Amino acid sequence: MMNYESIKSDLGLSDRRKIAKKRWLILAKVLNGSSCEETADSTVSIRRFHSFGLLSQQSLKNDIWDTDKDSTWYLYTCQDIPGFSMHIRHLSGGITAERLNGFNNTGNVCVWPSEEVMTYYCMQHVQDFKGLRICELGGGMTCLAGVALGVCSEAAHVELTDGNEESIKNLQSIISNNTFDNTTISTRLLRWGSEKVEIELQSSFDIVICADCLFFDEGRVDLVQMFFDLLKPGGEALIFAPSRNKTFHQFAEIVLLQ
């Protein structure tokens, strides 16, 4: 797979300026109300890889589902997990200036490949989660893996978290439209940083799962501390992320220093 840095190194100064200009035009169109899909250009957009095809999606458009211009409901299934299904609400690709000013909004853009892979892995190892308390950290608008575990793993409890208010509202709707049998499931706003973890969450989880949350340099140390704060003694962290300019390795080095 060709990454952004390898593409950039092959371009001359003139080409890079043209691409930069196109990106500013895309941003201007989006802020004027166009969706990300309408303005996407494969020659200037970094996010080219959309899916590994591990999960199947079917759009649900009828009177039962509150699909509108701001969201669409999907039925998720997996051909390798017979009988598995869950209802997931995707927010639209539109971005406003107000949304850009909010807390990290990357999780409201799409389901990123790392989340898809983590979801598939969790479903292939559901026996490892049975009877345990699970937290998905920074799960964006869908917390796809956490919802899947709530549906099929017989976990004792699943906590879905993100640092963006829009994500939490969307997750509340997703919880209301799925069946979790004996697994309790809830969602809350949770940000790593200067604020201390709420008392009821400290040392509360057997497993914390997280996908593609390692890329912000300024938040990496706080994220490591969040894992330690949430996990019970002997607990496990399950993290999926691309290397992305060695950010994964930098995260691992911080963990080893704890």
User: Would you call 41 exposed, middle or buried from its count of C-beta atoms within 10 A (0-12, 13-18, 19+)?
Assistant: exposed
User: What integer pLDDT is reported at residue 17 of this predicted model?
Assistant: 66
Q: Above 90 in pLDDT, residue 153?
A: yes
Give the confidence band of 31 by pLDDT, cuts at 50, 70, 90: low
User: What integer pLDDT is reported at residue 254 of this predicted model?
Assistant: 82
- Is residue 96 a contact partner of residue 187, using CB atoms and an 8 Å limit? no
Average pLDDT in the 212-237 region?
88
User: What integer pLDDT is reported at residue 43 of this predicted model?
Assistant: 43
Separation between Cα atoms, residue 241 and residue 115, nearest integer Å: 9
Tell me: the pLDDT tens digits for 51-75? 788 999 999 876 566 656 778 899 9
What CATH number does the domain located at 106-257 have?
A: 3.40.50.150
Q: Above 60 in pLDDT, residue 27?
A: no
Axis crossing angle, helix 113-124 with helix 144-152, rounded to the nearest 10: 20
118-138: burial string, b at 16+ Cβ within 10 Å, e else: bbbbbbeebebbeebbbbbbb
User: What integer pLDDT is reported at residue 91 of this predicted model?
Assistant: 85
Rg over CA atoms, the chain: 19
User: What integer pLDDT is reported at residue 5 of this predicted model?
Assistant: 40
Residues 6 or more apart whose CB falls under 8 angstroms from that of 136 comprise: 143, 145, 146, 158, 159, 160, 161, 208, 209, 210
For the chain, domain boundaries: 4-39, 106-257
User: What integer pLDDT is reported at residue 50 of this predicted model?
Assistant: 62
Separation in Å, CA 122 to CA 56, 94, 143: 16, 30, 12
Residues 6 or more apart whose CB falls under 8 angstroms from that of 252 comprise: none
Is the pTM of the predicted complex or chain greater than 0.75? Answer: yes
Average pLDDT in the 89-108 region?
59
Separation between Cα atoms, residue 195 and residue 30, nearest integer Å: 33
Residue 228 amino acid letter? F
- Is residue 188 a contact partner of residue 215, using CB atoms and an 8 Å limit? no
Q: Above 70 in pLDDT, residue 32?
A: no
Q: Above 70 in pLDDT, residue 35?
A: no
**Cα dihedral 245, 249, 251, 254 in deg (nearest 10):** -130
Q: Above 60 in pLDDT, residue 152?
A: yes
Average pLDDT in the 123-132 region?
97
Token pair for 159? 């906590």
